[in-house]
Structure 1
């Protein structure tokens, strides 16, 4: 009887290996051969699921974006605005090994996307999906200027994640900076909204 292979599950395993490799060594070290070795397969076996390195990169970038969106969806948006924003941003910061690896891979993808239009389109779509979800939630929370607030929250998250990657010893002061920025952002929102 032939062995049944879950194609999507195999693609996800290969994508996870690529994310680990990108996080540990950067995208310069990613190839069909190195990803195959990282997931214990032959290069030929990997090419059954991805014909090119770019196909693997696109799939892994989409997968990384899904992971962030899944964590963000777990945040209770019924919390007070400032607290919910704090929790949402924490889901994106490299505060543990899994999120550190994810943030390192995301940074590598962002740099790579600057020179590869297909990957750039995926990054823009992930960013747009996150922004639209955040704007929709901010509108239900009666936040004034939800689109501008969403952009500010995303920029804050991206900047903190980057700094935490290359200066992990600065986590405490950077988390204090997050609190300060959210206090300022939500205070400005209350002033604009008249509340």
Structure 2
């Protein structure tokens, strides 16, 4: 085998000594044939890094709530202002490092009935996995690019144009149902649009590069 280049579609190809080209598949199905993906997304994993930490849950939930409120609040402006999740992605990094510096490192034992082991408010330095999950939380608050939940528009139309009353529980159930329905479809389509190595989303590569 010789050098590796790219064809017109951006796929990685291998050129042998005779100049014949073929798509690089490799033994690992998770290796992306897209050169841009291989250069941006790391192919290695460190399972020792803590993920479900107090920092991640705190910053993630707060960012999701704040993003949801701000985007819904600004939706009613004549010129809507949309706060994207990249704002949280950038702002959460120094906050995470600050919490890693000031939070106590005391370790607490978890009862055996809850799985056992140890737990700490500050398991170590703020890592990339925590940062990624915080950004996912923020993206949920950003309604995945829409700025606000679409179902809120239905509630606005019912009350503002049809002058009909709708209870808080009914409105809340409508919004939650439509949002969870989207998560359900995402889970069903994960096998086809997420897991295959040849599926790539160019708009997310910029965000992934920020994590590194």
Q: With the length of structure 1 as denominator, give the TM-score of the two structures.
A: 0.28
Q: With the length of structure 2 as denominator, give the TM-score of the two structures.
A: 0.26
Structure (1 or 2) with the greater strand fraction: 2
Larger radius of gyration: 2
